Structure formats: C-alpha cells, structure tokens
Structure 1
Amino acid sequence: MPINKACKNGIQRGKDNDPRLFAGNVLWLPVLVVLILLVTGCMDTGGAKKEQPSGNPKAKTINIVISNLGMTFPAGMDENDNRYLNYIEQNTGLDIQVNTPPTEVYNEKLDVIMSSGNLPDMLHTYEPVWFDNYVKQGAFMPLDELIDKYGPHLKEKIPAEVWERVKYGGKIYAIPSLNEVTGVELMYARKDWLERLGLEPPETLDEYYEVIRAFAQDDPDGNGIQDTIGLIFTSDLGRSSPFFGAFGTQLNDTWFERDGQLVYGSTLPETKEALAFFAKLYRENLLDREFPLNLQNNLFEKIEDGQVGLFSATWYDTRGPIAANMKKDPNAEWIPLEYPIGPGGQKGVYGKDIIRGYNVIPAESKHAAEVIQLLDFIAENYKTLKLGFENEIWWWQDGKIVTDFALHDEHLYRGIYQSLVDVPDELLFKERLDSLGDFNLYDNLQRITPNIMPSAFYGVPTPAMGKYSKKLGTMEDVFTKIIMGLEPLDAFDEYVKQWKEQGGDEITKEVNEWYAKQK
C-alpha cells in the first residue's frame, strides 16, 4: 500500500482526532491494519458491482461527504462501489453516493462545499471549531426529533454527556463518533541496547537523559560507527508528549487549572522549561537533527533500520515499526518504560477528547431521515462492521477471536464507513486487540490510561476560539526554532505575550466563564 502523502505528522502533538489517527498520520500497512481494525473495524461482504439496494429502483439516494482516511481500494473498487458500501446499502435500502475530498485538503474542501450552494445530505468533520462556526451560522439542521424517530441505537449507545457536547440552545446538531482510546503515547526502548551498555531502564528525567546520551554516543548497536539517534521526534514536536509531561504540562490544546483558573498549557512556564531541555539535547546532538522534517514514515524507517533505541511510541507501534525492527534484527528486543518523572515528581501524557468526529446535516437537506437511518444502522451493527463477517474474516476458536489477516488487510478501506459512528464497547475492544497477536496492545493502553493529563476544558469551542485558534496555533512554530537554537529561549516569553494580545486573553476569559459554570 502506498504511503499517503497527506499523512504527514503522525501523532502530531495529540491532534489525532480523526482523521489524525488515520488520514492525519503516515501509516504503513502493519499500523493501518491495527488502527482500522481496532478503532474502525473490519468487514467483508461480497464484491458484486454496485446496484440499487435489494434490486429496488426506487431506493432513496443520499449524498455524503466523508474522509477516505488515506485508504486505497482493491482493484475494481472505489468509495462508491465496494463490498462494504454494498452491504450497508442492501441492509438500509439506500443508494449512498460518497464524496471523499483529498485528505491533505479535507478541511479546506469542506469550506468550499459549504459555500458552493450545492450541499450534500451529510458531512463528517473532525474539527470542533469548524462545527461550532457553522452551527452558529444556522447552517445545520437540529436533529432531536429525527433521532427520536429514526435513531434508537444512536440514543442507546452514545452517552448522555456526549450528546450534551453537541447541543446548542438545547438542540442536538451533530451525531458524534467517539474515541475508543483515551490516550496514545507511551515510552519504548531497546532492552538489548540497555543491556549492552550496562544501563537500567530509565525512570527519572535525569536517567532518561543519560540513556539518550548513551544511545547517541556510546555505540549501542556495537557496529563501531556513531550512527544511532538518542531521541527522535516528528515535525511540530510530534512524539514529545511524555517529556512535556515530566515538566507538568502539555501542548495539544490542553488547559490546566492553576489557582482556581484555567490556563493554556502551551503558555505555561513549565513549557519553557521543557523547551530548554529539548534545546540542550539538540545542542549536544542527542536529539535527531532532522526532527523538524520528520514525517511519520521517516520515523518508522529510522526505527526499522535500527537507528533508534528509545522513543515515544503509539500504543499500536508494537505491531508497526517496532515489530518491523525486530523482524529485520533478530537481536532487537523492545520493552515499555515508565513515563519520565520530572524534577517536581510529575509525569504524564496528553489525553484524547472523547469525540472523534461530527456528522452534520445541512439545513436544506431533503433526506435527513435517511441520513439518521444510515448512521443508526452503523451504530446497531458496529460489531459486524468492526470485525467483519463471522466465519469469513474472523471466527471463534477456544473462546478467542481469530482473524484471517489476508482478508482483513485486503479490505482496510472499510474503516471509512464504520468510523462515522464509533461507539464504546470495552469487551469487544479487548477481544479485537487480543486477536491481533502478541503485541501487548491492550497492555499498552492500560499503561497509558492512568498517566493521562486531561484537559480541564472540554466544552464546545468558545466564540474567540473560532476567531483566533488557527492563527494562535501557527505561532507555536517558534518552539521548534527555540529547540534548534534559531531563536533564544526567551523568545518563548515574546510568544506568550503575542498569544495573549492576539486573542489568547479573550479565549482564556471565555474558557474560565465556562469553567465557573461547571463548579
């Protein structure tokens, strides 16, 4: 499977709400297998050429705009003619016309569509600010009555507190899709390198520094060449979250309570301390010199090729680049580590928002009922849509799920439909993970969960966020410049000043007004 150019930053500072975990990451085949199976499911249904559902020439047609998640289709199939979609159509009696804008410009294309005057019956967005902006413009239809009439499984499976997150003026304006995992990153290291250098698995930040230094300078692979990397990030500081956690902060739009008020993680003094630590690593050639240019595929290649012995992994990397490295080097052995503990005894990693995506129906749609029926069908049949057909892609053996990975891999595209309505099912989730083999996937998630540093703000985007968030986000580019020595450390103070003046203070005021109402 070719690597999707759009998937450029991997777990990019936590902005992995889909398509960040799918189309927002460059994922090679083994990782895609895990992600789509685990988070969006597996299914297979017969590959006949698309016909009107159940042979009914009067089937109602609905038009939907969704992300293709960077997926490719088997020969002879596409987003409008494949086994997955045919299964859904045959069981709903709908003729579903699918538009999948390119992932690299997906958000921009949604804006173009919204201003075109030729609106579909449904759009799926991953951006809460985008959703918020258009709701306030009256662009979407309230859905309460439609859900009551056509969405019993949506009502049953989506928690009440999540419905509250998509309400405006007491009315529901989106069908949410949920995240099954609450966090993504944890530390992994080459055990064989630690043993060769006589080092114990690190726990404190100082111990991490010594391991990073040794992995960069002390020839941990024993080839007599200084060709290894102490620590690796991707661009925009992807894969850095556990180190920010050691300083008691996070990026990723995370808000913390300080003295009874909410403050933005990226502007905290602790963030400046973390940048100083990274700048030290970079000066000493312990941090990958190419990190500002690293896409996810670059990180994978360096791990697979044996250049990297310690990094912040995603919970599914044990089935991706780590597994590939061990296959290439039979002597390689990887182990999970404790999160680095900072000088103040702090540790942790960013958390993911419970809402992964929003299905919205334009106010002018004539087929809103059919859209709700489609989404309700996905919620009702989530097990089949996640796992595929029993006794074809998977089956029970000795009380466990066994998967035919050849069939599973052939139909990775299936996730673009199932992911529209992901609903939680902890037992099924574990069974799926266990079916994938001995990659410690469930154990990885169990390590992450108690170490999450959740954002204290989880409301709908405030008005000021809609106006300023995009611009303020680009200002964080200075962080990379500070680490590389292109800007002094004190440039952080100027960043904070500008952040506040150019909308941050207004956002903070609104966030704290929301916070006061939660107490």
Structure 2
Amino acid sequence: MGKMTKKRLIAPAIVAVAAIAAAVIWALFLSGGSAGGLKETKKVKISIVTSGIGTTFPPGFNENDNPYLDYIEKNTNLDINVILPPVESYEEKLSIIMSSGNLPDMLHAVDEVWVANYARQGKLEALEDLIDQYGPELRKKIPKEAWDKVTYNGRIYAVPSMNEVKGIELMYARKDWLDRLGLKPPQTLDEYYEVIRAFALNDPDGDGKDNTIGLLLTENLGRSAPFFGAFGTQLDQWLERDGKLVYSNTLPETKEALGFLRKLYAEGLIDPEFPLNRSRNLEEKIVSGRVGLFSATWYDTRGPIELNKQRDPKAEWIPLEFPTGPNGRKGVYATSPIRAMEVVPAGSPNAASVIRMLNFIAGEGHSNLKLGFENEIWTMNNGKMVTDFAEHLKHQYRGIYSALVDVVEPELDKQRLDSLGEHFHLYDNLQRIEKNLIPDRFTGLPTPAMGKYMMKLSGLKDVLMKIVVGVYPLDEFDHYVERWRHEGGDEITREVNDWYHASAP
C-alpha cells in the first residue's frame, strides 16, 4: 500500500478517535466524573424559576449571590441563574413563563393540577431516563408513592419535593383548667363535649367573667379535623368505601360530624367569630388566655401556646388523645407526600444538568442546605445539636434551595426539631399525629375532570360552614351532595376509580 493511501486511511481514523474521546469527556463532565485526571472547568449555565417562599436575604446577599447557592454550584460545576417571581399569583406567573418564547431549564411548581395539565399537553420533559442516569440519590430517597403523583401514562414529568410532615393537627388543652374544674383529659367524643361545655360556661380561668371559649375554630372549618376524624372522615379527601373511592365531603359520616359541630355552635360553645378567624386571630385568642382547648398544629407549642405560657406562668398545656367517636373511630387528615414538583420544559437542552443539581440537593448537599453550615448555624454539644437562633433566622433563605427537592431523613429531622427546643415537643407531636392518620386514597396526578370542575366544586363547600352556624338546616347537606355530583363530581369520581382500579396491585 502506498504512502498516500496509508495517510488517507490513518487521518480519518485519528479524527474518529478524537471525536469519541471528546464525546467520552463531555459525558463524564455531565455526570460529574473525570477522564484520566482531565477535569472540565467550564460550568454549564442553567436557569431555574422557583419561589422565594417569602424570605429575605441578609445585606449583601441575594438569590444569585450567597454561600448556599455557591455551595451547590461548586459541587455540581453549574452556573445557576435563579429567578424569583412575585409570591402573589405564583402559578399564574409560571403559566405566563411557559407561554413565552424564553423558557428556563426548570420551574418549581406547587399546584398538581398545573403540572398535570402541562404534562398532558406534552409541554414538559419526561424525566425517568435522566433520573436513572443522573439521579441515583433521587431514586433512593424518594418513595414510589411520591413518584406515582408525578407519573402520567407511565412517564415521570417532575421530581417531587417531599413533605417531611405527614400530618398537621392534634388536640391540646390547658391542664390547669381541667384541674380547676375537676375534669380528666377527654378521650371520647362525649367527654370532649363535656370539657368544651365546661370551658365555655364554668369560668375555667377563675376570673368571674364570661370571657372564655369552649372550642376555637378558624374560617372554612379550619382546625376541626379531629372532630371529623371521630366520625371516620375528613374534609377534601378520597376515602375507600366498599372497594371504591368516594369524595369525603359527600359521605353520611361528614353530615354526622357537621351535626355535632352545629350542636356546639347552637349552644354557644364554639367561638362565634370562627367564620372570620384566620391564623392571626386564632393566635391572639390563645395568647390572651381565652382558650383552653383547640386543635393545634404540631408547631403551635413553639408559637401561641408558648406565648400564652410566657404571659401566664400558671398556664399548663398538654396534648390529648384524639376524640374517639361512637363507632370507635378517630384520626386526622394526612398531608400529601409531596409539597412541590420540579419540572423541565419540553426540549430543554440542560435537562441532565437540572437532574444533577437536584440529585446533589437531595443527596450530599441535603444536610447543609436543610440545617445550615455546621459551626455557623448550629454546633454539636454532648451529642446534641444546638442551633444559633439568630444565625438560623438570618440564613433561612437557604430553604429556597433545600425546598427544590426535600427528602425525609427521620434522624436528621429529629435532631433539627429537638435543637429548636426539646420542651416544645415538636418531634413528639409529629409522632403522635402519625399514629392517627386518615390517608387520602387518591395519590395520582389530578384527572382531566378535576382540572375542569374542581375549582367550581370547591366553591360549593361554603354550604358546610353555613350548616354549622345555622344559616342552613342540616338536611341542606343532601342538596349539596346532589349539586356536587351533577356539576362534575360524578365525572371526577369515575376517573378517580378508573385510576384506582388500574393502579391496584
């Protein structure tokens, strides 16, 4: 073979080998690896849209210039541009962004219906292959039930951010009031009725005035979950009955619970202002000493309960057993396993880099982003975590990044909650709630009919509150159920049960 012929054969081979080597190096770079010690230094630029969650930044810092974002960028070799739309009408802003011609590489969504609609329209990237390749920590730490909620037609359209809290409400009461009136902590629904009545009518604070509240609720029947649980139901959930899923707001058990609350209200035992109460009103009434029993959130021991104890050193608060109803039922609603979803617009060239970023946040970076940096936000003292509250509050903005893909790690969560003050019993409260959960049995993406009808049907729920306060008779509940069914509820129920039977093992 002549020299010219050999050159013509060798040159293409060299080019081919060089191309393969370049491809290997680029693939290793995307996966965070290196090739024979050769390390790519150029950062991949990505843009993400997320919620500012109402936090502020210390002077000199912002969403694109702070040590926590620097920490993520350094460990992922990414250059991340963070965009924070106004908190008001956040999902509406996301829709505007999705309709624009300048799409980011990732959006942080909190509305399941929003995600479902865009997934069905083909406007979101399917992520399962990228997760398998670049997201081992995501696969390991996010359970199947969470992936199910972001799966449509067998494909994954979002990375779920987990909700570490499985339930919210539990009953708390003032033990000093119980002792003064010679009452034991209530357990059954009948015993709760007697305590609520005594707290409203028998001057439990001993000041000789008619100024105490038997039971404190908030607008839209907020803080009532344990009383619905005593009848085996909860509001706004899908529960199983005879092998089918039914909407809880339409159940006879819900009517019974409304009847119980209606009786309390008619007898003047429920705060008459409850339809107007918001969280701030609830807190003010507890702190002022007018309330001795209510359905608390698991963190109220660190909020209004603690403030009441500071104002009145004689106030002694204790958790109660959940009220048990006539059929032995009790419990409260379970929260959704996910609190938010990270989606990638279809066609994004940087989808792999987004998954690498989320994988770091869920894995190696989780502890520092969740807790803050050790010896800056917290320290270990005799095996216990001690939080510097001033620094903790100053750097709460780190939650913007940890919330992108939160994961549940019980031991870490216990350390974190105990570091906020073991006397608040935050972790104990969560454990008490978790033993008494009534789960929502529908765990899929919202169905098409939900997108069409659910907002309108939610507006009908006002009838339930009006039944409690006596504007409507109790039997108006039956008319509410008929309207709910005929104005889209039956169609939603069919789709929910189609999903339920298709997902059965």
**Do the structures match in fold with TM over 0.5?**
yes
One-letter amino acid of the structure 2 residue matched with residue 450 of structure 1: K
Q: In structure 1, what is the Cα distance between the partners aligned to 2:87 and 2:455?
A: 18
The corresponding residue for 2:76 is 92
TM-superposed CA distance for 1:165, in Å, is: 3.4
Q: In structure 2, what is the Cα distance between the partners aligned to 1:444 and 1:245?
A: 17
Q: In structure 2, what is the Cα distance between the partners aligned to 1:258 and 1:369?
A: 43
1:280 matched to 2:263: yes
TM-superposed CA distance for 1:246, in Å, is: 0.7
The corresponding residue for 1:44 is none
The corresponding residue for 1:15 is none
1:474 matched to 2:459: yes
The corresponding residue for 1:158 is 142
The corresponding residue for 2:4 is none
Q: In structure 2, what is the Cα distance between the partners aligned to 1:257 and 1:163?
A: 22
1:293 matched to 2:312: no
Q: In structure 1, what is the Cα distance between the partners aligned to 2:121 and 2:217?
A: 39
Q: 2:98 aligns with which of 114, 137, 156?
A: 114
- The Cα offsets for residues 451-475 of structure 1, whole Å up to 9 and x where unpaired, read as 1111222222222122211211121
TM-superposed CA distance for 1:161, in Å, is: 4.4
1:137 matched to 2:113: no
One-letter amino acid of the structure 1 residue matched with residue 388 of structure 2: D
TM-superposed CA distance for 1:57, in Å, is: 11
- Which structure 1 segments of 5+ residues have no match? 1-55
What's the TM-score once normalised by structure 1's chain length? Answer: 0.85
The corresponding residue for 1:6 is none
TM-superposed CA distance for 1:118, in Å, is: 3.1
Q: In structure 2, what is the Cα distance between the partners aligned to 1:102 and 1:199?
A: 50
The corresponding residue for 1:513 is 498
Q: In structure 2, what is the Cα distance between the partners aligned to 1:82 and 1:297?
A: 32
Number of aligned residue pairs: 463
Q: In structure 1, what is the Cα distance between the partners aligned to 2:338 and 2:484?
A: 27
1:450 matched to 2:452: no
Identity in percent: 63
- The Cα offsets for residues 215-262 of structure 1, whole Å up to 9 and x where unpaired, read as 12222122222222111112111111000001111013x122222221
- Which structure 2 segments of 5+ residues have no match? 1-39
Q: Contact 2:110/2:339 (CA < 8 Å) preserved in 1?
A: yes
TM-superposed CA distance for 1:359, in Å, is: 0.4
Q: In structure 2, what is the Cα distance between the partners aligned to 1:405 and 1:295?
A: 27
Q: 1:371 aligns with which of 354, 360, 372?
A: 354
One-letter amino acid of the structure 1 residue matched with residue 464 of structure 2: F
What's the TM-score once normalised by structure 2's chain length? Answer: 0.87
The corresponding residue for 1:39 is none
Q: Contact 2:150/2:444 (CA < 8 Å) preserved in 1?
A: no
One-letter amino acid of the structure 2 residue matched with residue 393 of structure 1: I
Greater CA deviation, 137-146 or 91-100?
91-100
TM-superposed CA distance for 1:304, in Å, is: 1.4
The corresponding residue for 2:30 is none
Q: In structure 1, what is the Cα distance between the partners aligned to 2:207 and 2:41?
A: 68
Q: CA RMSD for the aligned pairs?
A: 1.9
Query: Secondary structure of 2:424's partner?
Result: coil
Map residues 58-207 of structure 1 onto 2, 5 A cutoff. Answer: 59-207=43-191
Query: Secondary structure of 2:233's partner?
Result: coil
Q: 2:412 aligns with which of 428, 447, 467?
A: 428
- The Cα offsets for residues 338-358 of structure 1, whole Å up to 9 and x where unpaired, read as 101112221110011212211
TM-superposed CA distance for 1:139, in Å, is: 0.9
One-letter amino acid of the structure 1 residue matched with residue 425 of structure 2: N
Map residues 247-326 of structure 1 onto 2, 5 A cutoff. Answer: 247-252=231-236, 254-326=237-309
Q: In structure 1, what is the Cα distance between the partners aligned to 2:206 and 2:68?
A: 49
The corresponding residue for 1:242 is 226
TM-superposed CA distance for 1:278, in Å, is: 1.5
The corresponding residue for 1:16 is none
TM-superposed CA distance for 1:136, in Å, is: 0.1
Greater CA deviation, 433-442 or 324-333?
433-442
Q: 1:82 to 1:304 in 2, by over 3 A?
A: farther
Q: In structure 2, what is the Cα distance between the partners aligned to 1:234 and 1:80?
A: 39
Q: In structure 2, what is the Cα distance between the partners aligned to 1:221 and 1:458?
A: 45
Q: In structure 2, what is the Cα distance between the partners aligned to 1:189 and 1:487?
A: 31
Q: Identify which of structures 1 and 2 has the higher relative contact order when contacts are C-alpha pairs closer than 8 Å and 6+ apart.
A: 1
Look at both structures and tell me which one has the larger radius of gyration over its CA atoms.
2
Q: 2:403 aligns with which of 419, 444, 454?
A: 419
Q: In structure 1, what is the Cα distance between the partners aligned to 2:182 and 2:472?
A: 37
Query: Secondary structure of 1:103's partner?
Result: coil
